[in-house]
Amino acid sequence: MEVEPIPQEAQENIEQVDRADLVVGVLAHLDQDGLVIVCDALRTLSGSPRIAVLRDNHAASSAPANSDTVEKSASPFLIPWPLFRPDAPGMPAISMSTAYQAVFAAAERLEARACCVIASRLETVTPRWACRLAQPLLEEGVDLVVPHYARHKFEGLLNSSIISPLMRCLYGKQIHNPLGPDLGVSRRLFQKMLVTDSNAGVKGNRVHPLTSLVPAALCDNLQICEVHVGARVYPPTDWMNISSLVAQVLGPIFLDMERNAACWQKMRTSVPVSSFGEPVLVSQDTGTVDVTRMVESFQLGIRDLQEIWGLVLPPSTLFELRKLSRMSLEQFRMPDELWVRIVYDFALAHRLRTINRDHLLKSMTPLYLAWVASYANHLETAGAVALERRLEQLCSAYESGKAYLVSRWRWPDRFNP
């Protein structure tokens, strides 16, 4: 099997370890204490597996001296590795993608049975959560462990509005955080990802490991489970680059839809996946959300982007959007059915290359912000129960709209807007 080239500076370090049962890639910026907690947690895994922890070179540089070599006193072995940090400015999704491929390549080189990636700083770092990702892989024979973060109503909005409900309706499994980013992956699955990526790389169409993991596992009928890992600390919103973020996240998802069309068209309903651990409740109290900026962006889009949206959306949708743009801030509500159709129409336009793909995805941003404004208005004072009900309602809208997506996907000309 062709393994991703491992950086020269990491070659020697990895040869010193020789082999491992579990490889853990730490992409999150953990300090020395955090790293010690993770290692201690990993030592509690039953069967005393041989563990290699890949830690970022940048993090290592702040650690005590002698940190650029492998610390091989006992498992887990700490291997300094030039990983890209997920919070790298500019192109977060791309640097994440490279980092995940590097972890998979290292796991393959060390002939590991499984690998885990710890990419986010968790609010409640307990000794248990780090090994929760690894446990089902080593003990239950699960192929993919995805996190179930404690949900806060205004966090992970791209996930709540598009990623999770879309994946649920496409692939038939109710996964709350399909893009992780904290994940556990079995040998079978990471090998598949490495092969798929090298094949796709030849065609000039590289696979994004984060977005492709769940579809790849589900289409191959591999076993998936969720683990409750507490609340996640989300990076603050960079309003200047929100359109780039939308494009970087949705592009790979729409590409995967194209790749797995034969698989997702067969799925009809969705079922929950097995989960481990106890759910953690977080407070839903927030400050006031000012939706003015988002609604203004949408109204500007209605004024200036009609020409582009007209190539993607049918006239009925454009009519609904124009109606929406005339609503006052307090009454601003986007119906779920309308939002779902917009997402489906953009996915189809992405497949058909109706316009340049980057333009297409970036032109979706004002529509996404309109949905966020509507959602924020709806849930301003809502608690945890209302939040779950609201998101379930959205997922149902995605599932009921799937027939429309399948029809347009199969016969795009017949439904041409």
Partner 1 sequence: MWDQVKQALAQSTMRFLTRFANLLPGIAALIVALVLSVLLAWILAIIARRLLASLHFDERLGQWGFASLAEWSPMNSPTRLVSRSLATLVIVTGFLIGIAAFDFEWTYLLVQSVFAYIPNVLAALLVLLVGNIIARFLARSVVIGGVNLNLQYARLLSVGVKWLVIVLAVAMALEHLRIAPAVVQLAFGILFGGIVFALALAVGLGSKEFVTKSLERDAKKVSSEAVEDPLRHL
Q: Cβ closer to partner 1: 195 or 281?
A: 281
> Of residues 20, 24, 157, 218, which one binds partner 1 by CB under 8 A?
157
DSSP output for 85-154: PTT-SS-HHHHHHHHHHHHHHHHHHTT-SEEEEE-S-BSS--TTHHHHHHHHHHHS--SEEEEEPPP-TT
Q: Report whether 360 contacts 350 (CB < 8 A).
A: yes
In the complex, minimum distance from the CB of residue 267 to partner 1, in angstroms, rounded to a whole number: 25
For partner 1, the binding residues in 242-261 under the rule CB under 8 A are: 242-243, 245, 249
Query: Binding of partner 1 at residue 389 (CB under 8 A)?
Result: no
**How many Å apart are CA 151 and CA 409, to the nearest integer?**
33
The count of C-alpha atoms lying within 13 angstroms of the C-alpha of 413, restricted to the half-sphere facing its C-beta, is 0
- The verdict on 372 binding partner 1 (CB under 8 A) reads yes
Least distance in angstroms from the C-beta of 257 to partner 1: 19
Q: Which is nearer to partner 1, 359 or 389 (CB)?
A: 359
Binding test (CB under 8 A) with partner 1, winner from 71, 87, 155, 337: 155
> Which of these, 223, 233, 217, 225, lies nearest to 277 by C-alpha position?
225
H runs (alpha helix) in 230-381:
242-259, 261-264, 292-304, 306-312, 315-325, 336-352, 357-362, 365-378
Question: Binding segment for partner 1 among 77-85, 302-310, 324-332, 336-344 (CB under 8 A)?
Answer: 302-310
- Piece of 46-54, 128-136, 273-281, 352-360 that binds partner 1 (CB under 8 A): 352-360
Inter-CA distances, 216 with 161, 171, 264, 320, Å: 22, 10, 11, 36
Interaction between residue 158 and partner 1 (CB under 8 A): yes
Query: Which residue in the set 127, 141, 235, 272 belongs to the binding site for partner 1 (CB under 8 A)?
Result: 235
256 and 359 in contact (C-beta within 8 Å)? no
> For residue 89, is the peptide bond before it cis, meaning its omega torsion is within 30 degrees of 0?
no
Tell the smallest beta-carbon distance from residue 98 to partner 1 (Å). Answer: 17
Site for partner 1 in 268-297 (CB under 8 A): 286-290, 293, 296-297
User: Is 89 a binder of partner 1 (CB under 8 A)?
Assistant: no
Closest CA to 336 of 344, 348, 328: 344
With respect to partner 1, which residue has the nearer C-beta, 257 or 364?
Answer: 364
The residue within the footprint of partner 1, chosen from 147, 165, 366, 417 (CB under 8 A), is 366
3-state percent breakdown (helix, strand, coil) of the chain, nearest 5 = 50, 10, 35
CA distance 291 to 269: 34
Least distance (Å) from partner 1 to the CB of residue 313? 14
Least separation in angstroms between residue 18's CB and partner 1 is 37
Q: Of 138 and 294, which CB lies nearer to partner 1 in the complex structure?
A: 294
* CB 173 to partner 1: min, Å: 21
Question: CA–CA separation, 165 vs 395, rounded Å?
Answer: 5
Angle at 14 between CA 12 and CA 15, to 5 degrees: 65
Q: Can you tell me the distance from the alpha carbon of 356 to that of 348, in angstroms, rounded to the nearest whole number?
A: 13
Q: Rule CB under 8 A: is residue 329 a binding residue for partner 1?
A: no
Question: What's the one-letter identity of residue 155?
Answer: E
Instruction: Write down the least CB distance from residue 376 to partner 1, Å.
Output: 7
Binding site for partner 1 (CB under 8 A): 92, 152, 154-159, 234-237, 240, 242-243, 245, 249, 286-290, 293, 296-297, 300-301, 303-305, 308, 311, 352-356, 359, 362-363, 365-366, 372, 376
